[in-house]
A = this chain, B = another copy of it.
Amino acid sequence: MTPPRSLCYDADRVSVRIIDQTLLPAQLQWRELVEVEDFFEAIAAMRVRGAPLIGICAAYGLALGLLRDPSLHNLQQCQARLSSARPTAVNLDWALRRLAGRVATLPQAERGEQALLEAHALAEEDVNNCRRIGEHGLPLLQELARAKPGARVQVLTHCNAGSLATLQWGTALAPLYLAHEAGLAIHVWVSETRPRNQGALTVWELTQAGIPHTLVTDSAAGHLMQSGEVDCCIVGSDRTAINGDVCNKIGTYPKALVARDRGIPRYVALPVSPHNWDCARGDSSTG
């Protein structure tokens, strides 16, 4: 199945609807964002989260702000306000800069409408990029399945990189959605991801998609890999250095070391976007 979108633009109401992720997995509740301050609050309170989704959400916030007041003064104010909502989210600042850069030199009357088109473009790019990640990842899973006929492919992931973290397909989960759709027998080990428990969001996504999975403690990954219960690891990336090093949620690094120690293939699923190449330190993967 095609996973549902976690953010929708409503043209009639000129507003954006998001799933309030702070209420998941207990409750699925949509929330309408209208004012720039609504968008700021939604990002700051982690009602929307996941690097790609934050960028898209902020872009819509800026566009809606410009539809109301397209002055350069307002552009700067909205951009600064939204950018400060979550200082560590690199996609946030990147998306806002991209939008601002494309509309700042336009005649004032065109600015709002063009910003909205840019936000739409950003959203569609994300959907397509993530779908393509899935298409690239699928053959890797098919190969693992061929190597163990009759048995399910066991995948370990960490944190949340599914439909809730992006607009639709996710990054790490995109190959899994497609594998499940293609009838591959898979099972996913989901880390709790303390202290924010984003694993619960991944559990929710996998449940929605009907993909078999098990929630485990973060440390259990070591034991599972040691016991031959993991065929590959797939995680997302919060930030990527030009040499290919990735920064991802705390816990990615020990898991990568275990996978290396056990000879288990490990993949980072990420889109190639300009904002991924602004970090060039050689040793930047996070714990």
Residues in chain A within 8 A of chain B (CB atoms): 191-195, 217-227, 250-251, 253-255, 257-258, 261, 286-287
**Nearest B-chain residue to A261, judged by Cβ:** B257
- Chain B residues within an 8 Å CB radius of A257: 222, 254, 257-258, 261
Give the CA-CA distance A224 to B254 in the complex, in Å.
11
- Chain B residues within an 8 Å CB radius of A254: 219, 221-222, 254-255, 257-258
Give the CA-CA distance A191 to B219 in the complex, in Å.
10
- Chain B residues within an 8 Å CB radius of A218: 194, 217-219, 251
- Chain B residues within an 8 Å CB radius of A191: 219
Q: Is the CB of A223 within 8 A of B258?
A: no
Q: Is the CB of B287 within 8 A of A223?
A: yes
**Nearest B-chain residue to A251, judged by Cβ:** B219
Can you identify 22 A-B contacts, CB atoms within 8 angstroms? Answer: A191-B219, A193-B219, A194-B218, A218-B219, A218-B251, A219-B250, A219-B251, A219-B254, A221-B254, A221-B287, A222-B250, A222-B251, A222-B257, A223-B286, A224-B287, A226-B286, A226-B287, A227-B287, A254-B254, A254-B255, A257-B257, A257-B261
